[in-house]
Structure 1
Amino acid sequence: MPEPVLQLRGVSKRFGAVQALTDVDLDIAPGEVVAIVGDNGAGKSTLVKILAGVHPADDGVISFEGRPVSITSPTASRALGIATVFQDLALCDNLDVVSNLFLGREIGGFTLDEEEMEMRSWTLLRQLSAKIPSVRIPIAALSGGQRQTVAIARSLVGDPRIVILDEPTAALGVAQTAEVLNLVERLRDLGHGVVLISHSMVDVQAVADRVVVLRLGRNNGDFRIADVTSEDIIAAITGATDNAVTRRASAQHRTEA
């Protein structure tokens, strides 16, 4: 496994009386998909927002490409090489694909170079093997999976080393979910380190190389997908080895075997 691009050691975060994260460690290597899972309130969103520069960490060390860094703002996060695609996608429905991809990063001076932006848009989408009929179609006319595709493509405009995807398949149908999971695999093939936040064990086991479990703001497991069952992951999430969910997962695993 290559050396990690991103390392967290002992990262903690408090909001008033609430301790959201306590001594969290995390490694992300290039060309690796790491799923971060946990129950509601486990600290997943806080961790993402620290990496995205929304919240500063209170304690701990964050290293990028082997050197300690301070992520003080979203701009600082992007400048380092971390791109975050939040669940709401933050796309402009009334604008077309090209305009969304280059929003705030337009090419040209007083007169925009529409031809260059259109060409680069197609290049980005081809890298992802994306299924978008036209780069001039309004976002409002796209499906949920296609919108996610545009949001992921936009994250690649700055050529990041790490791409964070926050619940990318939430509220998508089966076909659209498969489309997005293909995009995750393409990101890995292109050499990006991918952080996947997900509640879906099926999605996690389909594309992740490793799964990191957070429980009550702390690390509670770091597993290679090839070595672990969904029962093991659920047990780490819930903090129990015998409950209705894990028994059902175990029964399903025995049936499939």
Structure 2
Amino acid sequence: MLTDFDHLSIWEIAHRWHNTDPNTSDPDAPPLPVQDLLRSITNMQVRHHLPILTKAGVELKSERNFPSFSEHLAGIEKPHDLKNEDVWYAEMRETYFERKERWCKRHDEAAEGLEQCYKYRVYDKEKLDSIHLDRGIIEEFCRKKGVDLPDFWFTKEEKERFAEGEDVEDTVAKETSPSDDEEPLTTVGKIKQAEADRFWSRLTDAQRHRMLCREVAGNLWKADKTLTQGAIMDHPVIREYCGAKYYTDPNTVRNWIKDLDPRPEDKRRGRPKG
């Protein structure tokens, strides 16, 4: 079982999913179930329905984390002296799609050639080995397709929680975080170092990043209760030392810290003035 690995190549995922050795599989004729899975994954990646991760596990920006056109317009103030609204609207759409193209450039470059896989059954092992997915994305994929989590990457308990409709990644993160009436791991003076090391070693990178982000965010808000969630997320310590820079979808880190925000609900939108 590979639960200690946060991300794997789609070539390896498709093979291990069907108990096939990815090292000895013939790229010219992989087993049929492996072909089916590779074609499904690459089709969804080309259409931006699934992300693409690099070999380092960094998710490339895609349409999945780019705002909709209506959200884009909501952030633009319409000129007071506007003479032709249709022309202005057309210009806004052109600007939007230009920005979207730039945003998705690296994803689209990485996806180039994947249509050969799902359209023509050409399986470029080197290409498919260079594109990765993580456990959370595979969980999302299984939920969309209505299939069980693969045995090689998820425990029996995780599969049971998934079958009951729970979010496995969120559940695991909650289980590895201190409860409200429990002291954080870093403040428990009597814990043995070996126990702390074992606890830390069992966490995935995402779980470690979540814990670090929450710890630092809580202290930043203690120092300044007026900080917005955006300001916390952009803080260099959060980005560089807590791992936030590895998550291109801003909602990932926001969901980790938003319950710590000390500001009233009606004050949580936008950045502080001045």
Determine which structure has more spread, i.e. the larger CA radius of gyration: 2
TM-score calculated relative to the size of structure 1:
0.28
TM-score calculated relative to the size of structure 2:
0.27
Higher strand share: 1
Higher helix share: 2
